[in-house]
């Protein structure tokens, strides 16, 4: 997994799109993706995740 490219790609997505993509990932990949977000963006994405993925 190219984390640099993934981090760059996250900048092109809005908060809702990131939350939607995260819901399709397994738990480990969700954690990796979430850690790539800065604190404010992670907080925003968290608000859009359904309860099962929070």
Range of the domain at 32: 3-53
pLDDT of residue 52: 80
* 3-class DSSP state of 20: helix
Neighbours of 28 (CB within 10 A): 8
pLDDT at 26 over 80: yes
pTM score of the predicted model: 0.83
| Number of domain units in the chain | 1
Neighbours of 31 (CB within 10 A): 12
């Amino acid at each position: 997994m190219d984390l640099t490219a993934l981090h760059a790609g996250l900048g092109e997505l809005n908060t809702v799109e990131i939350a939607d993509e995260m819901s399709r990932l397994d738990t480990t990949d969700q954690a990796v993706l979430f850690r790539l977000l800065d604190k404010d963006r992670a907080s925003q994405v968290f608000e859009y995740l359904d309860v099962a993925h929070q």
